[in-house]
Amino acid sequence: MAVNICRILMGAVLVFSGTVKIIDPRGTEYKIQDYAAALGFSNDLPTYMPLALGVALALLEFSLGIYLMFGIRRKWTSRIVLLMMLLFTPWSLYLAITNPVHDCGCFGDAIQLTNWQTFGKNIVLLTVALILWKWHHLGKRLISQHSQWLVALYSWLFGFLLAGYTIYTLPIIDFRPYHIGADLAEQMAWKEDGTVPPISDLMILDTETGQDLTDSIIATPGWKFLLIAPRLEVADDGVMDRLAELTDYCKRNHYLLICLTGSDHDGIMNWCDITGAEYPFCQADETALKTAIRSNPGLILLNGSIIEGKWASSQLPGYKELNAPVEELKWAHQKQETMRQHVIALFSLYVIPLLLLTLLDFIWSLYRKNKNTIHKPLKTNKMRKHIVAGNWKMNKNLQEGVALATELKEMLAAEKPNCDVIIGTPFIHLATVSDLLKDSVIAVSAENCANKASGAYTGEVSAEMVKSTGAEYVILGHSERREYYNETPEILKEKVDLALANGLKVIFCIGESLEQREANEQEAVCKAELAGSVFHLTAEQWKNIVIAYEPIWAIGTGKTATAEQAEEIHAYIRSCVADVYGKEVADETSILYGGSCKGSNAPELFGKEDIDGGLIGGASLKAADFKAIIDAWK
Ligand code: PGA
């Protein structure tokens, strides 16, 4: 629960900060430039770098937020988020102490934090990131592993296209005091109580005399076009034709057209030379101009002191649009209302498909889960054996083993089990225990046998020897044997063949590791393990095979796969058997679950359609515990 709250919190913060950056990549670019300048390496950065970094950061934050919310690639996402926080937290402390830039820019212009507030926020987020990293596997998935790539891809793509669109045009949501409809005079007015107004750094100066023209330009009534070019040296000069047309239009209609720039006299002269500009220039602070419009150059239309419209250089009107006085030009009057509708429409493009996808995925998962129960006639369930098998592993000396087997025998004699019961013992117990259990309901299994028939293999025990003790089964392919004794699929194949040839039945174990599960490879792993060692058998031989699915991460760890997880893969394993031997044989194959199975969770696990019992390690070492699992079939 706490992990999921953290996941949603962190996800929401990342989606929010990613979104405000995506809708205003230029803002992040400027912020990065500010940082670079404050730290003294702005000259070393290639010009495209701040924008590229800004977009990359925005996309990373947005996508990680979505990954967290949907529970996609939980392990890697939590690692990257933690790494980010480990980098950002000391960085924000450094910024708070040295204060090279006033607002860190983590939430763009939407929420402005001081550097100390940012540091505090990062401490909280770092704690959350640590929790997520430690318990990432407890995070709930909103989307199945089959469909998560779609959400991921769609989020990256949407973020990328939206960032591209806003770079080409203007931020789709304007958080600055220069938004459409804003009254500049009002935004610049100092309150009586001395509070700093939203715009406090815009001062328009005459280029020649340095005289302050702010009031005379802003406060005079009428239509005014402000061409804003923070730095003419890097402004887009491809728009000079459009600017010439605009100049003519303003002359014809007696509107003021003035260019505000942060460049000096030389910069202005150079621009005039290149573009043939005939409009007047005034100087203003470069940062203030960058705040006013995210384009260089950009155009602002004022009616008196109210902002009527804003256009990026890519959107400047041409002579076709400039065909009537401003009052009659519909496109020149941008309404906040319509802008809002655009934003809603644009986000619907992301949110609605995503919701639909999640819903479809949910329905599909439900269908998959119930597929077998819905379509299979009930009798198929009765056709295969229910089995509870113990696997003592390397536990119990002979006397202890005999005592345990005796206790169990007596228990089951008193109360008949509703399933087949097998105990897997070390070799040393086999003969004695088999003899002891001869007349009982309990069958005996070895835990291994050699991959050679007989001969000079010191210390090995052949399938034939196992059979001669009276044992009926052998467990093969257990992950502990695969891992610690390097048993390969080929070796296991030889063992399976020898076991069957000697009249033993095989409990064949398969299952994935934690990494493989997290990489969503469990199905591929199980299929490959079956294909590597048992799918070569004939249908007749197959009758003597019991499959035990044992996720390695659940063995002896106390972590059980949930009944749903287990059922999902059991159904898959059965479908693999059906592919090779046909549905009828698959319906008769017993597939056991193994991995921290106990009396408390066995009923739920065994209640699933495709789970036909369990292979029990730890809980088979005490008669009462083992009996509780057997009782799950009652
Ligand atoms: P466990 O072992 O029940 O102790 O997890 C199962 C097994 O390895 O067979």
| Number of Cβ atoms within 10 Å of the Cβ of 23 | 24
pLDDT above 90 (res 273): yes
How many Å lie between the centroid of ligand 1 and the Cα of residue 193?
74
Q: Say which residue the tokens 């369930």 belong to.
A: 381
Q: Given this model, what pLDDT does residue 263 score? A: 95
Starting at the earlier edge strand, list the strands of the sheet with 205-206: 205-206, 281-283, 256-261, 223-229, 298-303, 306-311
Whole-angstrom distance, CA of residue 152 vs CA of residue 142: 13
Whole-angstrom distance, CA of residue 201 vs CA of residue 292: 11
Report which of 206, 350, 358, 212 is spatially closest to residue 283, judged by C-alpha positions: 206
Per-residue pLDDT tens digits for 585-625 = 999 999 999 999 999 999 999 999 999 999 999 999 999 99
Per-residue pLDDT tens digits for 309-365 = 999 999 999 888 999 999 999 888 887 777 788 888 888 989 999 999 999 998 987
Q: Are 171 and 346 in contact (CB under 8 A)?
A: no
> Of the ranges 133-147, 264-278, 531-545, which one carries the lowest mean pLDDT score?
133-147
Q: Given this model, what pLDDT does residue 371 score? A: 54
Nearest alpha carbon, ligand 1 atom 7: 617
Which tokens in the block code for residue 568? Answer: 């999902």
* 102 catalytic per annotation: no
Residue 555 in contact with ligand 1 by CB distance below 6 A: yes
Residue 370 banded pLDDT, cuts 50, 70, 90: low
Length of the chain, in residues = 634
How many Å lie between the centroid of ligand 1 and the Cα of residue 596?
6
Which tokens in the block code for residue 533? Answer: 């060692």
pLDDT above 70 (res 264): yes
Q: Say which residue the tokens 């912020």 belong to.
A: 31
Label the pairing between strands 223-229 and 298-303.
Answer: antiparallel
For the segment 144-172, the average pLDDT, to the nearest whole number, is 91
For the segment 60-65, the average pLDDT, to the nearest whole number, is 96
Residue 616 in contact with ligand 1 by CB distance below 6 A: yes
Q: Which atom number of ligand 1 is nearest to the Cα of residue 509?
A: 9
How many Å lie between the centroid of ligand 1 and the Cα of residue 554?
8
- 3-state secondary structure (DSSP) of residue 522: helix
pLDDT above 90 (res 59): yes
| Number of Cβ atoms within 10 Å of the Cβ of 281 | 22
Residue 423 in contact with ligand 1 by CB distance below 6 A: no
Per-residue pLDDT tens digits for 543-589 = 999 999 999 998 888 777 899 999 999 999 999 999 999 999 999 99
* 480 catalytic per annotation: no
| Pocket perturbation via mutation, ligand 1, pick of 615, 620, 625, 626 by most ligand atoms within 8 A of CB | 615
Label the pairing between strands 442-446 and 205-206.
Answer: unpaired
**Which helix (H) or strand (E) is 425 found in, with range?**
strand 420-425
Whole-angstrom distance, CA of residue 495 vs CA of residue 477: 9
Which tokens in the block code for residue 50? Answer: 């701040």
Per-residue CA distances from 4 to 18, 111, 378, 429 (Å): 20, 25, 38, 48
Q: Are 229 and 236 in contact (CB under 8 A)?
A: no
Beta-carbon contacts of residue 209 (< 8 Å; ≥ 6 apart): none
- What's the Rg (C-alpha) of the chain? 37
Whole-angstrom distance, CA of residue 288 vs CA of residue 202: 6
pLDDT above 60 (res 502): yes
Residue 596 in contact with ligand 1 by CB distance below 6 A: yes
Burial classification of residue 592, based on how many CB atoms lie within 10 Å of its CB (0-12 exposed, 13-18 middle, 19 or more buried): buried
Q: Provide the H-helix boundaries in 513-589.
A: 514-518, 522-533, 539-542, 563-581, 583-588
Choice between 456 and 382, residue whose per-residue pLDDT is larger? 456
Residue 78 in contact with ligand 1 by CB distance below 6 A: no
List, as one string, the DSSP characters of 568-628. Answer: HHHHHHHHHHHHHH-HHHHHH--EEEESS--TTTHHHHHTSTT--EEEESGGGSSHHHHHH
Average pLDDT over the chain reads 91
Catalytic, out of 386, 429, 478, 570 = 478
Per-residue CA distances from 422 to 130, 386, 597, 616, 620 (Å): 45, 11, 15, 10, 10
Q: Are 150 and 334 in contact (CB under 8 A)?
A: no
Choice between 370 and 449, residue whose per-residue pLDDT is larger? 449
How many Å lie between the centroid of ligand 1 and the Cα of residue 13?
41
For the segment 404-413, the average pLDDT, to the nearest whole number, is 94
Q: Given this model, what pLDDT does residue 95 score? A: 87
Per-residue CA distances from 295 to 13, 61, 140, 167, 575 (Å): 28, 24, 42, 8, 59
Q: Given this model, what pLDDT does residue 500 score? A: 97
| Pocket perturbation via mutation, ligand 1, pick of 481, 616, 626 by most ligand atoms within 8 A of CB | 616
For the chain, counts of helices (H) and of strands (E): 25, 14
Q: Say which residue the tokens 């430039």 belong to.
A: 33
Q: Given this model, what pLDDT does residue 369 score? A: 57
Q: Which atom number of ligand 1 is nearest to the Cα of residue 555?
A: 5
Q: Given this model, what pLDDT does residue 2 score? A: 82
In the chain, the amino acid numbered 627 is: K
Whole-angstrom distance, CA of residue 252 vs CA of residue 167: 32
Q: Given this model, what pLDDT does residue 125 score? A: 95
pLDDT above 90 (res 308): yes
How many Å lie between the centroid of ligand 1 and the Cα of residue 593?
9
